[in-house]
Chain A
Amino acid sequence: MPFSRNSALKIAVIVLRVVMGGIFIYAGYVKLAEPWQLFAAGIADYEVVPMWAAKFLAHTLPWFEVLIGLLLIAGRWFRTSTVSTSLLLLVFFSLMVRAFAGGKEINCGCFGPNELISWKTLVRDGSMLAASLFLAAIAFRNRRTPA
C-alpha cells in the first residue's frame, strides 16, 4: 500500500500535536509544583508588566498552559488551541529575544526555575513557535478544504 503524502502529513500533525501538548502540560505542571511566588518573581524580572499583573499571570498562566496542552493532545477545538499556542509562544519568544538582546541575564521561566535565557532557550522556543504556527496553518487549511 503506497504511503501517501497526505498520510505522512496526518502522522506529522498528530506527532506534533502530542509533543507540543505534552510540552505545554509539563511547562504548566512544573510551575504549579512550585510556590506561585517563584513564577511571579520570574515574570516580574522581565520588567514588562506591573507586579499585580505578574501575580495574576503566575496564578492563571500555568493552568492555561495545561488546558491548551490537553486540547492539543485531544485534538479538540484545534483551531482555537493552535492559535492560542502560537500567540502565547509568540509573546514568550518576543519577550525572551528582548531580554536577551538587552543583555538581561534572567531566568527564562519556561519550564520552572533555574534556566537562564540563552541561545539554547531561544532556539528551543523558536522551534516550538514554528511548530505551533505550522499546526495553526494546518488547522485553517483543513477548514478551507471541502470534506
Chain B
Amino acid sequence: MKILALFVAALAPCLASGPDVDKGRSMGDPSAPMLFEIYSDFSCPACKHLHDFVLPTIIQDYVRTGKAFLVFREFPLDIPAHKYSRPAAALAVAAARIGKYQTVSDALFRDQGAWGASGKVWDIVAAVLNPEERKRVQAFAVESSVLAEVQHDVDRGKQAMVSQTPTLMVTYKLRQQPWTQFGDLSLFRGYIDALLKK
C-alpha cells in the first residue's frame, strides 16, 4: 500500500502537467485517448504537403471522431534556407492568442514560396486579418512570452527526439512515438488503428 502511494505521488506531477497545450493551437477533445503533436516549420515543403493533403484526413478520421487530441507545435529549423521560419512561427503563435491560428497557418502554408523568398511574412498574415486583429497580433508577436512559447516547442521537440519536420508525435498510454512517414497514409492509419486496439 505504501509503495502504491509512493508510485501515485511520483506520477502525479506528470499526469497533472498533461500535454502542455495552448488552446489556440489545438483541436479536438483533450480527453481523447491519443495525443498527436505536429512539429512543423512553415518554410518546409513537406510540412506544406502534410498540412494541405494529409492533415485534413487525419483530422477527419482521428480528431473529429474523438480518438485523438491534436496539438500544433512550432519547430522552425535553424538553417539559412528557413531564415524566416521563426518570425512566421511567432506570428502564428501570436495569432493563436486571438483564436486565429488556423487562419494564419493556412495562409502561411498557402503562400510559403512567396514569403519564403521575400521575407515579407507580415504581409501574408495581415492579409487574412481585419485591422483590429492585425494590431493585436502585431503586439503579441513581439511579446517575450510568444517568442518563449516558440522556443519551448522547439525544446520540447528536441527532448522528444524530433529530428526532422514534419514529425507527428504520437502519445498513447504514456508512450511517445515520432512518426515521419506520410507518403503512404495507409501505413499511418494501420499503425494508429493497431495501437488503439492494444
Contacts and interface: CB of A to CB of B under 8 A. Distances in A.
Interface string A102-121: 00011000000110100000
Q: Chain A contact residues: over half helix, strand or loop, or mixed?
A: helix
Interface residues of B, number: 16
A35 B178 contact: no
Interface of A: 35-38, 40-41, 44-45, 51, 55, 105-106, 113-114, 116
Given A105-B163, A116-B161, A35 B180 contact: no
Contact of B188 (A36, A37, A55, A106): A37
Interface in B94-148: none
7 contacts: A37-B188, A37-B194, A44-B181, A44-B184, A51-B183, A105-B164, A113-B178
A78 to B, nearest CB: 37
A68 B179 CA distance: 29
Most chain A CB neighbours (cut-off 10 Å) among B163, B164, B184, B187: B187
Give me the 5 closest cross-chain CB pairs, A-B, nearest first. A35-B194, A105-B163, A41-B181, A37-B191, A37-B190
A37 B191 CA distance: 5
B161 A41 contact: no
Contacts of A51: 183-184, 187
B171 to A, nearest CB: 13
B65 interface: no
B57 interface: no
